[in-house]
Chains A and B, each alone.
Chain A
């Protein structure tokens, strides 16, 4: 039969991709969307979304600076026992100096007990880092799970979980944190972290829920469902990888925020219990001797640098992981 709507059929199911013009000196195909032709003469490097993201990230100058800064600062924190082997409360009794100005011997000076401020900052970095990373990781997991369940199921489950989230968001965090710290007293960094986690999961939960709400309607989710996937499989195997971008970005930024909040609490002497140094706690200690500027300035600068670097990295990741963006930075 003849019918205009069907084309004359080819005798062989030939590959529909058009072969590229042969030539040894072809420039590498432009990123994105180029059909992966693998005919002889042209080797196309197969790139995953992640490798595109990595490329974009490494072309983001500020993000690289931030990453470098973080490696240096967090590296100092991680290797604190090599960089400042005496520990944070070591006092040089042989050559005892208290409130000494910064010098070659004590590059950040010493505090009122004669402890080396540089050592204390390094150990403070470790504490702050522990808080920041712990809070970011744990709250990301909680937020991811809550957001995934809420967004995927919708309906009353979504309503319930999101109202709980709203409730937590409406609580004045600082007031609660102050009350909690006042009631419980100062504690270890882990206790502070646990309290912070209770507030930090909400942001990620909302972001993840939003992404799930739109992704669950996608055809590929429908297709996965039609091939027999259960809810858990759809949620975590098919949808979750699509939400990793926002989760990573938010998680990274949460590191900075958690460090700031912990510093604020410690500054109000409601945070981490001395003698464990934390950056906020060091600034608080420095307040007692305002004329000895090095006791506040060095930990202060360290906090600023950490948060700045974290935010640079977060921004870089946001740009790199944004699936809408195929553009490459020159």
Chain B
């Protein structure tokens, strides 16, 4: 296996609030390999965004605090970089695509101008017409028609899908080695979603950037990703390659997530949600954070938090005391063909 682009170890992020300390990310470790797409799924508040925003120093400090951990990227620890050094990494070697394209573009700057900004930020000596040409090429790459005209337009003249394309173009202006897409399609309707994902794929093929795709949509994961991390309450509960996870999930939470999706092939009266609600991150239940909602929960689960351990193949990890009992468990996905 090649060396990982990004190697995160024991990342712990906390937020101080009036009610207590929120353990948003609690001991997360993972590797990201060149050219691969890693999906991070989980409910709201499971720490999937925070764990990546922390890499770029984009969590507000205070109230946020990176308690411990390392994030090795190209031989440097991102978490230990000085503000100025980190700024050189942001938007250059590591870039982000944000969730809401409607609000992530500055309303008073033309789209071309904003895309050019992110080049100028890192290459202040670049000539104006070179930048312009590059921006227009990027807009063409992400499938914005009439790129020359669009260059001079303001964000309010763009539709949602076009704006997200522009955002993607902005993130790859400096050919990043790592692209983080934080729920890039959540704010878009489904037909546009598919187009934007297509653009993301094309962009990835073009730039060979390793991609982290944060989403709560398992469909997108199945469509886009090579590997997937399932997060729950700030912990990684299961990870592995997409096919393994979808065919033979080995964590009750993953199974719950998959079962909660409606199936197209059957006539279902009711959705099957995971019972209970996500735990308060201030006051996590003792032992395994998922045990109050788990159908497998026993005494042991209340007592100790299971470590993330290999199950089956070496790349498939699950954090469950009783993951062996899930061997052969049929999730809805395993009954349907994984494309």
Contact = CB atoms under 8 A, between A and B. Distances in A.
A220 B104 contact: yes
A33 B96 contact: no
Interface residues on B, range: 35 or more
Interface string B91-129: 110011010100111111110000001100110000000
Nearest to B222: A1
B336 interface: yes
A275 interface: no
Interface residues of A, number: 42
B98 A223 contact: yes
A8 B170 CA distance: 27
A49 B263 CA distance: 47
Given A228-B118, A238-B109, A242-B107, A3 B222 contact: yes
Interface stretch (A9-17, A63-71, A179-187, A296-304): A9-17
Contact of A241 (B109, B158, B261): B109
A224 B217 CA distance: 27
B223 A6 contact: yes
A36 B150 CA distance: 9
Given A33-B156, A225-B90, A227-B95, A7 B194 contact: yes
A220 to B, nearest CB: 4
Given A4-B262, A16-B161, A46 B90 contact: no
A228 B222 contact: no
Contacts of B90: 225-228
B149 A16 contact: no
Interface stretch (B38-46, B185-193, B296-304, B311-319): B185-193
A132 to B, nearest CB: 28
A35 B157 contact: yes
Contacts of B214: none
Given A227-B90, A228-B122, A241-B109, A219 B100 contact: yes
Interface stretch (A82-90, A203-211, A229-237, A278-286): A229-237
Given A49-B108, A222-B104, A228-B87, 20 more contacts: A1-B222, A1-B246, A2-B336, A2-B339, A4-B262, A6-B194, A6-B219, A6-B223, A7-B194, A16-B161, A17-B159, A17-B162, A35-B159, A220-B104, A226-B91, A227-B90, A227-B96, A228-B92, A228-B118, A238-B117
24 contacts: A1-B222, A1-B336, A1-B337, A2-B265, A2-B336, A4-B219, A6-B217, A16-B161, A16-B162, A32-B156, A35-B157, A36-B150, A46-B153, A46-B157, A49-B107, A223-B167, A223-B170, A224-B106, A225-B58, A226-B90, A228-B87, A228-B121, A230-B121, A238-B106
In the A-B complex, the 8 residue pairs with the smallest Cβ-Cβ separation, listed nearest first, are A227-B91, A228-B91, A3-B219, A6-B219, A7-B190, A227-B118, A9-B194, A36-B157
